[in-house]
Amino acid sequence: MTQAAKGAVFITGAATGIGAAATRRLAGAGYRVFAGVHRETASLASIPGVRLVAIDVTDSSGVEKAAKVVAEAVGGDGLKAVINNAGVIVQGPLELVPPEELRRQFEVNTLGPAHVIQAFLPLLRTGKGRIINISAPTARAGPVHGADRRQQGGAGVVLGLTQDGARRLGHPGYCHRARRD
C-alpha cells in the first residue's frame, strides 16, 4: 500500500524522543508524515515519506501557517491524524521556577495543543481523522505536589481538549493513553 493510500498524519514535537520514534514508525508503516519541528533535524529529513514542517506551537499564527503548508500538500484528502506530542518539563518548587519558564510550560503543553487542534480540525474533518494528544501520566494521577501538580493541571486541560475534539469530529468516544515511565 502506498503512502498516499494510507493517508497523511501531522505530528508536533517530532524532532526528538517519542515524536521522532512515532515519525519513523508511521513512515515505515506507509503513512505520509508531516513532522512538525521547532528546529531542523537531518535524521528525519532523509526518511522517505517524511516532510519537515517548521512549527512553534506557542505561536498561533505560525501554527496556522503550518496548517496551510500541510493543507496545500494533502489537497482534498485531509489528515488521518494529528498527534500533539510537543512538550516541555519545568521542574522545581514553584517559588524557584522563574515566571517565564512557568509561562513557557503552559504555553507549550496546554495552549500549544489547543492552537494545533483549532488550526488542523478542518483537515481532520476532511480526512475523517483523529486527534491524538500525548501528555504526562499525571493527567489522571492522584494527589501530587510541586512541579507534578503543575503538570497535572496542564495535562488535565489537554485531556479535556481530547474529549472535546473527539466529539467535534463525530467520534462517539475517545482514547486516552498516558505514558507510563
Q: Which three cell numbers stand for residue 56?
A: 512553534
Is a pLDDT exceeding 50 seen at residue 180?
Answer: no
Is a pLDDT exceeding 50 seen at residue 2?
Answer: yes
Per the prediction, the chain carries an average pLDDT of: 82
User: Tell me, what's the pLDDT at 135?
Assistant: 77
Q: What's the predicted TM-score (pTM) here?
A: 0.80
| 63-69: average pLDDT | 98
User: Tell me, what's the pLDDT at 1?
Assistant: 55
| 50-77: average pLDDT | 97
From its phi and psi, is residue 170 left (phi > 0), alpha (psi between -120 and 50) or beta? left
Check if the beta carbon of residue 151 is closer than 8 Å to that of residue 92: no
pLDDT for 7-51, tens place per residue?
Answer: 999 999 999 999 999 999 999 999 999 999 998 777 898 999 999
pLDDT for 120-165, tens place per residue?
Answer: 999 999 999 999 988 766 555 555 455 455 555 555 566 666 666 6
Domains, in order of start, for the chain = 3-168 (3.40.50.720)
